[in-house]
């Protein structure tokens, strides 16, 4: 609480009361009503063109022994929450892939399996989706700030796609905010095709139209 008060004081001294008022009204408006558009993408075979990262890279699956490494990679996020979310995800049967460049962790990606991410557990960091037994969903991905722009994200996605199809999966899905141009560029570069969009609404703190299902996708 004291940290928030100090931030308010700094903003007041720097920008004045009117700025604080506008910022407060914007936050109140977001609490009353807001929406987000998620783009969904799919790939049904291993891409023929292989993306090469612009730096040395090795990828391996993470496990419970990597929890501390994953938590420290979260930078400014709440470490305790990241720890709980990671434990929850691994205990649910999800897989985490770690990409290293010259021994340094550069990227983290999560792979979800049937029945998909459909719960409302506060530790769930993926959007609510429903997938089939022969499908997978690539969830929350992170690239270290110093490794952005080096083709690591699409290269990791292609690694996971290949892994999924080698394990008898038929479709691989992923989603991102429609406003995240960098993520969209990386997803499409990896070989994914756009298959639909979902609008989520938040009214008075309650989320509506939240769950997306792969059964709505009709393309091969």
Token pair listed for 112: 């979800």
Domain ranges of the chain: 35-216
pLDDT single digits (tens) 173-185: 999 999 999 999 9
**Phi, psi (deg, nearest 5) at residue 148:** -70, 145
Using left for φ > 0, alpha for ψ between -120 and 50, and beta otherwise, residue 126 falls in: beta
pLDDT at 127: 84
pLDDT at 180: 93
Distance CA 118, CA 73 (A): 26
pLDDT at 18: 59
Residues in the chain, overall count: 220
If we measure between CA atoms, which residue out of 42, 46, 43 comes closest to residue 162? 46
- Half-sphere exposure in the Cβ direction for 83 (13 Å, CA): 6
Which is the CATH superfamily of the domain at 35-216? Gcn5-related N-acetyltransferase (GNAT) (3.40.630.30)
Token pair listed for 32: 């009353």
If we measure between CA atoms, which residue out of 114, 132, 116, 135 comes closest to residue 124? 116
- Half-sphere exposure in the Cβ direction for 159 (13 Å, CA): 22
pLDDT single digits (tens) 189-213: 999 999 998 866 555 555 555 688 9
Token pair listed for 81: 């929450």
User: Averaged in consecutive runs of 10 residues, what is the pLDDT profile of the chain (220 residues)?
Assistant: 52 56 53 70 95 96 96 85 94 96 96 88 88 95 94 98 97 94 96 87 55 76
* SS3 call for 138: strand
């Amino acid at each position: 609480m004291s940290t928030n008060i100090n931030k308010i004081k700094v903003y007041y001294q720097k920008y004045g009361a009117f700025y604080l008022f506008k910022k407060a009204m914007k936050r109140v408006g977001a609490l009353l009503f807001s929406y987000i558009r998620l783009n969904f993408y799919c790939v049904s075979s291993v891409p023929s063109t292989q993306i090469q990262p612009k730096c040395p890279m090795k990828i391996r699956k993470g496990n419970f022994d990597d929890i501390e490494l994953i938590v420290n990679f979260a930078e400014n996020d709440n470490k305790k929450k990241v720890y709980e979310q990671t434990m929850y995800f691994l205990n649910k049967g999800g897989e985490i892939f770690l990409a290293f460049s010259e021994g340094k962790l550069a990227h983290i990606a999560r792979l979800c399996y049937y029945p998909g991410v459909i719960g409302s557990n506060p530790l769930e960091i993926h959007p609510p989706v429903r997938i089939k037994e022969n499908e997978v969903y690539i969830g929350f991905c992170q690239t270290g700030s110093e490794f952005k722009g080096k083709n690591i994200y699409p290269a990791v996605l292609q690694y996971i796609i290949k892994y999924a199809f080698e394990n008898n999966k038929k479709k691989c899905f992923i989603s991102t905010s429609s406003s995240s141009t960098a993520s969209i560029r990386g997803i499409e570069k990896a070989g994914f095709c756009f298959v639909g969009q979902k609008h989520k609404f938040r009214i008075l703190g309650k989320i509506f139209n939240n769950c997306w299902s792969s059964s709505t996708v009709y393309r091969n």
